[in-house]
Structure 1
């Protein structure tokens, strides 16, 4: 098991990293955004899943940030190098291939990948396979990710679904649209990590928040906002939900690099906050299952799934669970995000982490399969293959 320790070292390095981060993303801000709208559909025809509605952050962003003036983008090579649907061209996904959302949709029988809401071709019948509202840098709290200038927070994403909901009425008629959304579709929410990494724990910008709010208070605010956001979706006929908890954010290459940790160490405070939030998230979902008639809120234990990969990576065929396959800076290539000038590992399917923050497609496949077919230790009260058929 990976050990953890609280680390106060690296704060100066962390501030320096901010400057490097800004320089890197300003230099790539003019990269082409067209790839996100090309070739993201596969040819698989399924009959099990209606629409896949995906909300969240960069872990599941499929290209929405391509259409924003933002510092958080992945629409440059070698991102997407293994994404077959685009011929290896970047689409705005923060990984080398498919996200967990992509893989789950495929396995559940979706005819196409959920289309980014901001993409020009997100209209008409293309919406019937689902819509992706996720945005790199987004969080539950509206202030989260403001360092990136623009991003779609969860409140905005729910607002955008309201637009989609009206479009479904126009496409199918009100009665059929309600049935399609409530009985055949799945709502996937992967969010929360940025609320810690790019809000409560972020150097310089978080000083005011951390002075006025204890961790318990901040987490309480997060969950109250999430409760409201999930309830709003329910009021728009969402019934089948899967909500991922926050992963071991103290173990990502970025955190290990700036804090100069050993391979078997993780940042204790970050993981502690994630676990505090995760315990209360599970209670919130249990409560909503009791209070909202006809709804099923499924809890995905992403923290344990990712920690299992990090701890026992060799058993899964990986050669590294600490170093970014694509990145630059420090022992774990964890300072500068993946881009055209980054170093790139030779065996991309042998690394748990694609870049300083996000899993590789190989890791995403393992995680997704557990969410689809795993037992209640990793996903409860039912796995996603059973949720689809309810």
Structure 2
């Protein structure tokens, strides 16, 4: 007799999915109420990363992000490659802190509650190319750490001068009680493919990437940092940028339309990063580390987009033509001259609020808000499973 099993109807499967999410939300909400007295009082955020968390670093050096970037929330370019806010913006808001200004953007910046060292195109490992050659930022993680070290040393000297500086720079004790966020590594993976490396060759240098990231974390710790919030990388194989640019066979695309090899590389990097964070916990027992599974959060959003109120999760909102509304030579905001006038060719879609991907590489504000809500309300994506506002209490092994 052949074995069989019960397969629930599609509608029941969807219902079970939402029941599970709601139960996780209720559990987490109860936890936050019961432990409100233990919430951390983070006075500042110091962020290191790439375009997923860049709030103006790259544009301060190379010029503003073209419209329609920023159209949903800021009403215009705000240094973000997104129609609005990023996850780091929502994290800052949840603590009652202002949005982070970029370290490289000196005009009108207030650093009293933290600094953003992230720049779009940044990698952990320095790249042996120029930005014009590869598109990657020269502000790699080691440079971001050098910027932090300089800021850490000089901010108090300048702040002690009083006057306007006192209100624009963090207090000395903020450095020890701040949360240090890391969201970087995605570009290190794609960098190898741009050099025509195989998947195995890319995997071969991943250990060096996470080792260099750990070196920077240790450097921050040596200068007083004690609470670390580390994001892993998302499903690269679900980005229009990957799906459009790199040749794929039918066997290399899964049922959701994502590129299997690229997702496997991302998962390999994440496994190595997880082991590295575990080792850092052992080596730095006075520090509190949280590992955030952004891959699972983003993959859930993409693979359940319709149930969650989103449409065409692999198709970019802002772009120009093709299966994924993405053209690498004519990215979001690109223009051309027609009859003597400059017109935007790569335009925004009519309703970014129902799109997951903004420009083929980055997520929309609506998607970022959904992602943030999972971080805030579902501790199953966190290791250890302790919410953001209590992350300072995690020490050693749990």
Q: Secondary structure at the match of 1:230?
A: helix
Q: Secondary structure at the match of 1:299?
A: strand
- d(CA) in 2 for partners of 1:271 and 1:74? 31
Gaps of 5+ in 1: 1-46
- Give the superposition deviation at 1:172: 6.6
Q: 1:364 to 1:374 in 2, by over 3 A?
A: same
Structure 2 residue 298 is matched with structure 1 residue 306 = yes
The 1:206/1:230 distance shift into structure 2, 3 A limit, reads: farther
Secondary structure at the residue paired with 2:181?
strand
Offset at residue 153 of structure 1 (A) = 0.7
Change in 2 beyond 3 A, CA 1:388/1:314: farther
Matched, 1:129 2:110: no
Deviation by residue 1:92-131 (Cα, 9 ceiling, x = unmatched): 2010000110111001111x111110112376xx211111
Determine which structure has more spread, i.e. the larger CA radius of gyration: 2
2:123 alignment counterpart: 139
1:5 aligns with none
| Superposition map of 1:198-277 within 5 A | 199-202=191-194, 205-207=195-197, 214-258=201-245, 259=247, 264-277=256-269
The CA deviation at 1:312 is 0.2
- Measure the CA separation in 2 of the matches of 1:142 and 1:160: 15
Q: Is 1:115 matched up with 2:98?
A: no
For the 8 Å contact 2:44–2:114, the answer to whether it is kept is yes
CA distance in 2, matches of 1:232, 1:386: 23
Tell me the CA shift for residue 145 of structure 1.
7.1
- Partner-residue secondary structure (3-state), 1:54: strand
The two structures, once aligned, show a CA RMSD in angstroms of 2.5
Q: Is the 8 A contact 1:256 1:262 kept in 2?
A: no
| CA deviations over 1:170-228 (Å, ceiling 9, x no partner) | 3379xx95532112x1111110110111x1111xx345xx59x8344311111111111
CA distance, structure 2, for counterparts of residue 145 and residue 270 of structure 1 = 22
Partner of 1:63: 56
1:292 is the counterpart of 2:284: yes
Q: Can you list the C-alpha shifts for 1:220-246, whole angstroms capped at 9, x where unaligned?
A: 111111111111111111111111111
Distance 2:160 2:374 in 1: 33
CA distance in 2, matches of 1:48, 1:121: 28
TM-score (norm 1): 0.77
SS at match of 1:55: strand
Relative to structure 1, the CA distance from residue 388 to residue 372 in structure 2 (aligned partners, 3 Å threshold; closer, same or farther) is: farther
Deviations 1:253-293 (A, max 9, x none): 12223347688221121111111111111111111112113
SS at match of 2:324: coil
Picking from 347, 353, 357, the partner of 1:349 is: 353
Q: 1:82 to 1:172 in 2, by over 3 A?
A: farther
Q: Judging changes above 3 Å, is the alpha-carbon distance between structure 1 residues 145 and 295 closer, same or farther for their aligned structure 2 residues?
A: farther
Aligned-partner Cα distance in 2 for 1:144–1:131: 27
Aligned twin of 1:182: 176
Indicate if the aligned counterparts of 1:328 and 1:337 stay in contact, CA closer than 8 A.
Answer: yes
Q: Does 1:337 align with 2:331?
A: yes
Q: Which residue of 2 aligns with 1:83?
A: 73
